[in-house]
Amino acid sequence: MFMKQLTIPELYNLNETIAGEYMSSAEYPWQLLSNLYYCVVEIGKSLSKDNFEEVSEHVWIAKSATVAPTAIIEGPCVIDESAEIRHAAFIRGTAIIGKFAVVGNSTEIKNSILFNWVQVPHFNYIGDSILGCKVHLGAGAITSNVKADGTLINVKAGQIFETGLKKVGAMLGDNVEVGCNSVLNPGTVVGRNTIIYPMSMVRGYVPANSVYKKQGEIADRISAH
Three-class SS state of 96: strand
User: Which whole-number Å values give the CA distances from 16 to 51, 151, 162, in the listed order?
Assistant: 18, 33, 28
pLDDT of residue 158: 83
Three-class SS state of 105: strand
pTM of the model: 0.96
The span from the CA of 139 to the CA of 40, in Å, is: 27
Span between the terminal Cα atoms of the chain, in Å? 34
Q: Which of 132, 123, 141, 207 is nearest to 179 (CA)?
A: 141
- What are the extents of the domains in the chain? 4-214
What H or E segment, with its residue span, contains residue 126? strand 125-127
Count other C-beta atoms under 10 Å from residue 185's C-beta: 17
For 174, counting Cβ atoms within 10 Å of its Cβ (0-12 exposed, 13-18 middle, 19+ buried), the class is buried
**Geometric angle at alpha carbon 199, from 195 and 203, rounded to 5°:** 70
CATH ID of 4-214, from 1.10.287.610, 2.160.10.10, 3.40.50.150, 3.30.590.10: 2.160.10.10
Judge contact between 92 and 75, C-beta under 8 A: no
pLDDT per 10-residue tile (average), the chain, 225 residues: 85 98 96 97 97 98 98 98 98 97 98 98 98 98 96 93 97 98 98 97 96 88 62
